[in-house]
Structure 1
């Protein structure tokens, strides 16, 4: 089974497995297909994280997160007065980090792929060359971006410009098809060297960006040890730094394990209040302690210590909200001697791959590489452009996530796999910037504590708190009138979240061994299985 943000991409992955490919083969094919049919987040100009659990229980994690160019500097988005220049880290050429997706897929194929590389890239080439029909949601998103595409591109991206895109319109991407052909035929060199590299650097020169040929040639994805912790009856396997997702998710689930959420009920006043207070403290820790482990010593073991995690809840009242101004990051004791899209794959042998990939904001920097037809990310905004200053998602960061040449920016991406009794139980993840962690957290609780099906867990209403700003974001109807009113009385400030929170994709292994896919109704997500 494959669950992804677009039905065509899900079908590509399922077709690869029907031909004998494994979960990693399917994941690679889905990544490239999403770069064509889901351009606001699927990409070859961005990056992501991948978590793998093999059928025998062995796990791995691939970090293909973007990196700051060598010419990047700590204060590059500040004016002479030391103030942040609006939108400089969000839109345009200077917002782009060095892309990691292609190198990541090459590394994944080299270590775990079973089918020929060419066969995994070819479906995306066919989609780009032959064209594909737009969904209503995709047409609407393209229409909203037309002004930005005109403003931030040095050459008119005529292939994406139209007065009004409509559902069912066919879009063809011939330049992207040629870029994918180079990747198909030359592998890593087809992107980081030669024609495509020349086009990227020429785009940087025209638009005032700083990615160089040397940056592209030097980029390498990294295999890392996953975050892996037993929480109650489940083993949680998730992404380590530079993602904040794994650490934050384990902290949240560990706190929840110590309260009778099943007895309290789904999204009742007690349950919602407890979850919000946990999120408030976990996001405060995220701001202070998390960054690229190659540049900053992240206290992983200390942050995952159960005693430390529960100490963060000392003084929490079950009757009254805490003011976020009264909450700061904890000081973990020294140890003794982590706009986006997610897809999930489980193959016939039981190998599972959970992948979150992104350009950051929807359509990234809004800049297409002229002649190559793909969008560049705006991941530089995920750094702390100024310590204590919020990014586009309102997240606060400190020195641990300050800009430095060659550094990977902190992320909330949380591709996650759960085991139960030593067997694969669930693979799940989400898009949504800062809301990714709390989305995955709620989906896991919905299944493990409240007895939801996979689809029910993903469809259910969601809410989110991230320490600062001190607001509870809530989808319409997620909390219900009674819970919402009760939270207000307790001192929580609640704000509606139009458009929903997150877009998740999950696969649950049922007791009889069948797979249940959960595709998010908030988007065009679809499950494809056989």
Structure 2
């Protein structure tokens, strides 16, 4: 049965807003007004009218029969081809997952895991947890020295950093339950890409050149992902070079022929286990044989006249997204305007409290009690908001996870698919860091994950994304590590409305949050919402990072005067791949211009 979170009543929403504001009224600077041009593009009225708060002016892709948006043009084309061949959204999603393992090795994978949210055209929704697990020999203190200090790097690179992969099992389960085409047909495009090769993009080439030293260090006597057969050769990859992966093709052929057993048993399992022995990793053939993904009830929660369908734990993303949206629901964001000081202040304070709750309460529900329903409840959220003040920023040092009676204590990829019938899939999948642990399985040709770093290696110690964890997310044998991935589907008035998600480590939840609100509250198209510049706060460290141009000077001055610490980024946030159902029933595919992300529709 689906878990549907009871909506706020209007009276309670008003009470929360009034209580939080106390005797103060929201102060919105009139200087920071934005207008919507006839073309639907927002600009700053008080500053240079040619300066727009978007990363680019990319326009969304439209279609009526199907849409695929993913991190790589080759993978999106594979998904579209499957839809055109009569496949449904799940068939296309499975094909895209395997294609990304070939063309996007930094995050696409068969050596990692992920989450799927699926909504049938008739309206029923499902979620599949194919997150990695800790090996059976894992221990809570496996990354600590004798003095109890974290041994830096062990959970990030090398064989000991890897959890038991879940991606192949997840795809098998999804296809077995909902697929329409044959298994062989949906896996074949990835085999073709690996056997025949594909022309690399500039970003593909740059990424592999960047990790050349790690490849040589962690994978001695191997030549995977190097341009020449001589590991010491200084020759670098360039845009347009053909990347052929013959061992990966053989691995995919075993998966095609034997399904789950083609990865978790037999030759591939043997090669993976031998690789772990070589590098003193922990994953065994028994761990692989015992791995199974889990169907879970998706979170469903209302926001105004929308229904948010999102991922439950072991993802923290769904709970966090609902909390953030409910915190901001009482406020007139549309009237205040996109990224104006009051809008941003409310959103920052929501993010701050949500990430503190994440650290305290969330973990694998098969191992710990996760009070998801309570965390999203009106009464709880009201108590979390009582120390909000318009006059000054909340000090994160004074913010801890809330109190619930009876409770016992950055590289990923996303893709969205909608088919002709209106079936929708939202999948976020990952190796964790870029190229995972940098370990390539000898003889099998794929990268392993470094997901063990997503556990709380030590309570209070930050992971590679700066996230703080606690006992709920401590390492234990066969336990799934907590994730920030937030694949989400929205309904409007009971009908499919939006499919959304992104990579980005700890910034995933806030990027999804802003992208959804950009459409719902600020009237942006799907592509404008993806293009829009973003910001992020995660409780600790106590600062708000933002893309260059996300805030006007007036907003920056107003927030700083209230004690907010702002840090402008030299890089970007998010890699959104989304689909919006437009009023005329057509699909708008939106892919992120910050990378090679591509939408394909027909």
The TM-score range, normalised by the shorter chain, is over 0.9
3-state DSSP of counterpart to 1:178: helix
CA distance in 2, matches of 1:161, 1:358: 24
> Which residue number corresponds to residue 53 of structure 1?
119
1:180 has 2:252 as partner:
yes
Matches within 5 A, 1:258-337: 258-333=330-405
- Of 477, 481, 490, 2:562 maps to 490
1:382 has 2:448 as partner:
no
3-state DSSP of counterpart to 1:281: helix
Cα distance change, pair 158–412 in 1 and its aligned pair in 2 (3 A): closer
- Contact 1:146 1:161 survives alignment (8 Å): no
| Of 363-372 and 311-320, the range deviating more from structure 2 | 311-320
1:167 has 2:233 as partner:
no
- Contact 1:29 1:124 survives alignment (8 Å): yes
- Of 426, 448, 457, 1:354 maps to 426
1:66 has 2:138 as partner:
no
3-state DSSP of counterpart to 2:432: coil
Q: List per-residue Cα deviations over 1:40-74 (Å, max 9, x = no partner).
A: 00000000000001001100000000000000000
Matches within 5 A, 1:123-522: 123-161=189-227, 163-333=235-405, 339-522=411-594
CA distance in 2, matches of 1:44, 1:283: 29
CA distance in 1, matches of 2:326, 2:88: 33
1:84 has 2:150 as partner:
yes
CA distance in 2, matches of 1:143, 1:349: 42
Shift of 1:161: 4.5
| Of 282-291 and 138-147, the range deviating more from structure 2 | 138-147
| Of 317-326 and 447-456, the range deviating more from structure 2 | 317-326
CA distance in 2, matches of 1:149, 1:159: 8
Q: List per-residue Cα deviations over 1:152-172 (Å, max 9, x = no partner).
A: 114323443453111111111
CA distance in 2, matches of 1:70, 1:168: 43
CA distance in 2, matches of 1:155, 1:437: 40
**Larger-Rg structure:** 2
Shift of 1:334: 6.0
Shift of 1:460: 0.3
TM-score by length of 1: 0.98
CA distance in 1, matches of 2:468, 2:595: 28
Shift of 1:355: 0.1
Shift of 1:201: 0.7
- Contact 1:239 1:246 survives alignment (8 Å): yes
CA distance in 1, matches of 2:248, 2:400: 46
Alignment: residue pair count = 527
CA distance in 1, matches of 2:382, 2:80: 42
CA distance in 1, matches of 2:218, 2:394: 42
CA distance in 1, matches of 2:105, 2:599: 19
1:7 has 2:7 as partner:
no
Q: List per-residue Cα deviations over 1:351-372 (Å, max 9, x = no partner).
A: 0000000000000000000111
CA distance in 2, matches of 1:133, 1:499: 26
Cα distance change, pair 509–458 in 1 and its aligned pair in 2 (3 A): same
- Contact 2:114 2:428 survives alignment (8 Å): yes
Q: List per-residue Cα deviations over 1:121-167 (Å, max 9, x = no partner).
A: 00000000000011111111111111111111143234434531111
Q: Please, which runs of 5 or more residues in structure 1 have no aligned partner?
A: none
CA distance in 2, matches of 1:389, 1:349: 47
Q: Please, which runs of 5 or more residues in structure 2 have no aligned partner?
A: 1-66, 229-234
- Contact 1:154 1:207 survives alignment (8 Å): no
TM-score by length of 2: 0.87
CA distance in 2, matches of 1:418, 1:58: 12
- Contact 1:66 1:379 survives alignment (8 Å): yes
CA distance in 2, matches of 1:300, 1:76: 29
| Of 140-149 and 420-429, the range deviating more from structure 2 | 140-149
Shift of 1:333: 4.5
Cα distance change, pair 161–331 in 1 and its aligned pair in 2 (3 A): farther
| Of 397-406 and 145-154, the range deviating more from structure 2 | 145-154
CA distance in 2, matches of 1:80, 1:229: 46
> Which residue number corresponds to residue 100 of structure 2?
34
CA distance in 2, matches of 1:206, 1:334: 46
CA distance in 2, matches of 1:429, 1:84: 32
Shift of 1:498: 2.6
3-state DSSP of counterpart to 1:442: helix
3-state DSSP of counterpart to 2:323: helix
